[in-house]
């Protein structure tokens, strides 16, 4: 879990610093978050799995999500590495 959170953080920091958007990185993030969601679901951590699934779907289509909804989902996930 920590690795996908860090990979996402590094990518977003790069975008904030003016780096170009990368479809390849966003595809990798989508797959990583989705795989993590399935693994967490297998462990019975359904609430966290659902949040990771939302992240996976987001990275597959970032333009398709409401910013208020995303902000709430991100805040919950940002606390997750400390819980891991």
The whole-number pLDDT of residue 63 equals: 86
For residues 25 and 65, which has the higher predicted lDDT (pLDDT)? 25
Q: Do 28 and 60 touch, CB atoms closer than 8 A?
A: no
Closest CA to 77 of 27, 17, 36, 22: 36
DSSP character at residue 17:
T
Q: Could you report the per-residue pLDDT of 5-30, keeping only the tens digit for each? A: 999 999 999 999 999 999 999 999 99
Q: How far is CA 48 from CA 11, 18, 35, 69, in A?
A: 22, 31, 13, 16
**pTM given for the model:** 0.79
């Amino acid at each position: 879990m920590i690795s996908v959170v860090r990979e996402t953080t590094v990518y977003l920091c790069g975008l904030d610093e003016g780096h170009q958007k990368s479809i390849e990185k966003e595809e990798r993030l989508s797959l990583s978050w989705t795989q993590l969601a399935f693994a967490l679901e297998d462990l019975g951590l359904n609430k966290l799995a659902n949040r990771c699934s939302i992240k996976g779907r987001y990275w597959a289509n970032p333009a398709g999500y409401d910013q208020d909804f995303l902000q709430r989902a991100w805040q919950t996930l940002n606390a997750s590495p400390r819980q891991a």
